[in-house]
Structure 1
Amino acid sequence: MDVKKSFERNGETMEEFKTMRRFKQEISKEECIQVLREAPRGVMAFHGENDYPYAIPLNQFYDEEDGKLYFHGAKEGLKLDLLAKNNKVCFTIMDSGFKKEGEWPWYIRSVLCLGRVEVVEDQEKVIEQCRKLAEKFYPTKESIEKEIEKAGARVNMLCMTIDRMTGKLVKES
């Protein structure tokens, strides 16, 4: 029988999560962070309208200084409406995979993060995190600065505090 325990985090009581069923496939926290750093995008799932989940692809930046994920987007829309009602989300991401020498199947690392998302209110931090996110995609610092100058005032930055992070290596066969 799977007994759920609770623990305290930041003054809030939280329930523990089930352990991974196939623990031999589990990857380390360091490998999870590597996938979050290197993979270009993942999918964030929200508590959606009319009891349907709502999931969308998003580019992300994992900030190793604070251990949080950052996402950019518009300052209005369904995503923000849903977060205002319930800011608990699931973010799932996977790497591009690899093949082992002499084998045909792909090995893929996937990471699942459960956490809470908040809008970053400090405009200085928004621009700082935009720069870090843009470094994954833009070819030069000059192109990043040009884009920030053009659209920086219209950018909304979301910050995800990760409550649980798990990852696994799957062999596609």
Structure 2
Amino acid sequence: MRKANKRITDFDIIRRMLDTCHVGRLGTLGADGWPRIKPLNFAWHEGRIYFHCALEGEKLDDIRHEDRVCFEVDLPIAYVRGTTETPCRAEYLYRSVIMRGRARLVEEAAEKVLALDCLMRKYQPDGTWGSFPEEKLAITGIVRIDVEEVVGKEELGKDELREQALAMLASGVPLPAILG
């Protein structure tokens, strides 16, 4: 990362983002040489990203072609308005995480259940989802990304702006906000 002062060094912040951001973006390389990005639901568990998909399609074709992937999540915090006197003050405050790793289709039923439980705990935390029938597991694709590199980055502004951004993050107010 070019600007070290923007790096998130506290892994707890990164973990909270992975646990709370609802949409991640998978970056793959197609057999035609073109990169692709796909938004998807995901769960972070013990250094791995899990997501579900069909047993055939572009994501799996790309992963079979090249198992090296990247994955990104971001949290828009606030838009800071520019003014007629200082239009360059306009900026976006955010946090983001970019990971690189290797993806593979999960074959083992126990790991599929683990991944689906992780996904359900994240997206349906009231615990009302029940068990996963064997016949459904057989037709559900689960992909695991073994994460090899994690980089967190943030732009929270300076001075008073930074204090406002941190206070918004701590308070749980709906994001993104508009400041200025």
TM-score w.r.t. the length of structure 2 is: 0.72
1:62 and 2:62 aligned: no
The 8 Å contact of residues 39 and 96 in structure 1, kept in 2 or not, is answered as no
CA distance in 1, matches of 2:126, 2:140: 20
State the match for 1:25 in structure 2. Answer: 6
CA distance in 2, matches of 1:51, 1:88: 13
Identity across matched positions, percent: 24
CA distance in 1, matches of 2:119, 2:18: 12
**Bigger radius of gyration, 1 or 2?**
2
Alignment of structure 1 residues 86-125 onto 2, 5 Å: 86-97=66-77, 106-125=92-111
Q: Indicate which of 100, 110, 120 corresponds to 1:134.
A: 120
Alignment of structure 1 residues 26-45 onto 2, 5 Å: 26-28=7-9, 29-45=11-27
The 8 Å contact of residues 105 and 171 in structure 1, kept in 2 or not, is answered as no
TM-score w.r.t. the length of structure 1 is: 0.75
- For structure 1, list consecutive stretches of 5 or more residues without a partner in the other structure: 1-19
Shift in CA distance, 112/139, structure 1 to aligned 2, threshold 3 Å: closer
RMSD of aligned alpha carbons: 2.5
Encode CA deviations 1:75-105: one digit per residue, 9 max, x unaligned: 11111111111100110111242589xxx96
CA distance in 2, matches of 1:106, 1:145: 41
Q: Show structure 1 runs of 4+ deviating over 6 A.
A: none
State the match for 2:155 in structure 1. Answer: 170
Amino acid of the residue matched to residue 145 of structure 1? G
Encode CA deviations 1:13-48: one digit per residue, 9 max, x unaligned: xxxxxxx10110100233222211111111111012
The 8 Å contact of residues 27 and 38 in structure 2, kept in 1 or not, is answered as yes
Aligned residue pairs total 147
CA distance in 2, matches of 1:106, 1:130: 34
CA distance in 2, matches of 1:61, 1:31: 16
Shift in CA distance, 139/34, structure 1 to aligned 2, threshold 3 Å: closer
- For structure 2, list consecutive stretches of 5 or more residues without a partner in the other structure: 81-89, 158-178
Amino acid of the residue matched to residue 94 of structure 2? I
Amino acid of the residue matched to residue 54 of structure 1? R
State the match for 2:59 in structure 1. Answer: 79
